[in-house]
Structure 1
Amino acid sequence: MSVTQYEFLLPQLGYNYDALEPHIDARTMEIHYTKHHQAYVTNLNNAVKGTELESKSLDEIMKTAGLPMPVRNNGGGHWNHTFFWKLLSGNGGGLPTGNVLQAINNKFGSFDEFKTQFTAAATTRFGSGWAWLCKLSDGSVEICSTPNQDNPLMPDAQTCGGKPILGLDVWEHAYYLNYQNRRPDYIAAFFNIINWQEVENLYNAN
């Protein structure tokens, strides 16, 4: 019986490059998706070729401790961006609803306080990385951040240890064309394009 070998592919974006304007401009989206994300996919395929990781899915790889750095960095880049694109919508913004809103209110007291703390995590992440909202095993939520392309699925990453349900890319390539060094402005704009229905779906999924 042959072992399945995965070829990782760039996922469909699901919307046009200009769909998130003016919050994220079309040129940034095009470069981010076709150049940066594609590079992670290409490099990940090269990094796992001929290794035991070649037979693992992306989620399985992310949950493997002690990954070689080329796999960790490029696998994380592929997973993180695939996750990120689904969280964005030109019809996004506003407030979450349902179980996510209840969990946010239970943890932070209000949505505004959640925004304050999430913004702080994203703003103070030194260098490149990500800010996350994660669902913990008891249904509560927690904010954390990771360096580079690490994510909360990685067992040896320094995170809050839950399942990510919201993530924000704070690498400069995600915002520099429009916002230059003004990361806080980019973070503020992010709240106008969050697809809260997708966040709710992720929270409710097993």
Structure 2
Amino acid sequence: MFATRRIGAVIVGAARQKHTLPELPYEYSALEPVVSREIMSLHHSKHHATYINNLNAAEEKLAQAQSKGDISTIISLAPGLRFNGGGHINHTIFWQNLSPNGGKPSAKLTQAVEKDFGSWENMKNQLAASSVAVQGSGWGWLGYNKQTKKLQIATCQNQDPLQATTGM
């Protein structure tokens, strides 16, 4: 019952190592003045770490329930696994998309955005418009739809991860 793509944990034989907080590729203060050191530290070392701790606890309970054949407990763990697993996946992606040095999108991404949205400005406006309705811990995403072979904007509630929720 493990995903084929793991972030922050390794499966070794039948034993599972616990998920760990990924290191940031920059210092907490690197995004100042846009994002303060305090906000980065709190969001990474406390907020993201809480998702990881709760995910590890839920996976331990899942393994125990599976070993006992306790289907009721297995089912009851699904929401916590989804929320905390999604929180871990989403935040791991989020940290990789921030940079103290700015950056430019690749030519391939630029070409796809222009083909599917007309311009970066149109894509950003559509993403902002769809994301503004998301409340709480929801996310707005620019994803790739493998079936249509196009970029697509999607929103996910709570900490639902994009791929597991939409297939993008």
Please give the range of the TM-score, normalised by the shorter of the 2 chains: 0.7 to 0.9
Of 150, 168, 177, the residue aligned with 2:160 is 150
Q: Tell whether 2:27 aligns with 1:16.
A: yes
Greater relative contact order (Cα < 8 A, sep 6+): 1
Shift of 1:140: 1.5
TM-score by length of 2: 0.79
Of 106, 112, 115, the residue aligned with 1:103 is 112
Q: CA RMSD in A?
A: 2.5
Q: Tell whether 2:150 aligns with 1:140.
A: yes
- Structure 1 segments of 4+ aligned residues over 4 angstroms from their partners: none
Unaligned runs of 5+ in 1: 54-65, 163-206
Aligned residues: 148
Shift of 1:26: 1.2
The amino acid that maps onto 2:130 is A
Shift of 1:2: 4.7
TM-score by length of 1: 0.65
Distance in 2, matches of 1:67 and 1:149, equals: 15
SS at match of 1:121: helix
The aligned counterpart of 1:177 is: none
Structure having the higher helix fraction is: 2
Of 93, 96, 107, the residue aligned with 1:83 is 93
Unaligned runs of 5+ in 2: 1-11, 65-75
CA contact (8 A) 1:103 1:139 kept: no
SS at match of 1:49: helix
Larger radius of gyration: 2
Distance in 2, matches of 1:125 and 1:67, equals: 25
SS at match of 2:48: helix
